Amino acid sequence: MPPAPSGAVLRVLRKAIKRDVTLIRWCDDGTPETLSTSLLAVERTGMVISRPESTNRIRSGESLELVVQGGGGRFRGRVHCLGMSEQPSGGSRPIPTVRLSIPSRLQGGERRQSHRVSVGFDLAPTGQLRDPETGAFWLADIIDISMEGMQLRSRDDSPGIQPGEILWLETELPSPVGVLDCPVRIVNARKDGRSDRHVLGIVLVEPVRELAEFIRKAEIRRAARLRNS
pLDDT at 1: 44
The domain containing residue 25 runs over which residues? 7-108
Assess whether 143 and 212 both reside in one domain.
yes
Provide the number of structural domains found in the chain: 2
**Sign of the dihedral defined by the CA atoms of residues 180, 132, 77, 117, in that order:** positive
C-beta of residue 204 within 8 angstroms of C-beta of residue 71: yes
Per-residue pLDDT of the chain (229 residues; tens, 9 = 90+): 445 566 778 888 888 888 888 888 877 665 667 788 899 999 988 999 998 875 567 888 888 888 887 555 567 788 999 998 888 877 778 889 999 999 887 765 544 545 678 887 678 899 999 998 888 999 999 999 987 889 999 998 878 888 878 899 999 998 889 999 988 888 888 888 777 788 999 988 877 888 888 888 887 777 666 556 5
What's this model's pTM, rounded to 2 decimal places?
0.52
Final residue in a domain of this structure, among 79, 108, 137 = 108
**Peptide bond preceding 176 in cis form (omega within 30 of 0):** yes
Assess whether 57 and 119 both reside in one domain.
no
Containing H/E element for 64? strand 63-70
Containing H/E element for 203? strand 198-204
pLDDT at 108: 57
Does some domain include residue 1?
no
- CA angle, residues 111, 115, 119, in degrees to nearest 5: 100
Assess whether 126 and 74 both reside in one domain.
no
Assess whether 88 and 136 both reside in one domain.
no
d(CA 104, CA 101): 9
